[in-house]
Amino acid sequence: MNSVAAMCEAVGADVVDVVEGIGSDRRIGREFLQPGPGWGGSCFPKDSHSLVHLAETHGYGFSMMRGVIAVNDEQRERMVRKVQRAAGTNDLNGMTISVLGLTFKAGTDDLRDSPSLAIIGRLRELGATVRAYDPTTTGRLSRIQDSFLEGINVQQSVDEAMRGGEVLVILTEWPEFRSLDFEQVKELLSGSAIVDTRNLLDPQSVRAAGLSYDGVGRKA
């Protein structure tokens, strides 16, 4: 769906409409047709690379799986470019980016190969300071969490993560992020841009509050 979302952005379509059309076929359904910042976790990335390696040992290039991996990697870079556009500059040196969500998906505390952390890593390479919140990283961090989150300013609440950020980026689809108070968001941010990589928010409601919105495959 990430390739479809990218095409929607290119031609001015809305991925929500495309999902509705494809998902209306009961043989397919809508459940797994949501675009996002790319897959992650402990299994899918490892297994996809293992399939490529296994194919190589038997003399098969498995170009389709290589292409899938390449698209996933590119999707993460595409999210970084969205943040750059929202910030109004490619050089994020000295800027504060607020991030909601650190785990690779909602409902788990697993940080392994999280697209959120990959994207944050790129933002930091570009000079940004990242203030982040995730429901699973409140209180004292474990040694494993510390190793994954080194260099990230982990906050204890959504509000603290948003405070002073020039761009707000939603990277994990935790349900509590759907109910943000956009007037409060506007007060806490120093900027006025939201990049919603999970399409959790209603674009019209965000814009009605005087904030800019960029989702994945959504109409501008």
Catalytic residues: 43
> For residues 201 and 104, what is the distance between their CA atoms, to the nearest angstrom?
19
Q: Is 47 left (phi over 0), alpha (psi -120 to 50) or beta?
A: alpha
Please state, in angstroms and rounded to a whole number, the distance separating the CA atoms of residues 168 and 194.
5
Instruction: Return d(Cα 127, Cα 188) in angstroms, integer.
Output: 22
Element (H, E) at 100: strand 96-100
d(CA 84, CA 127): 11
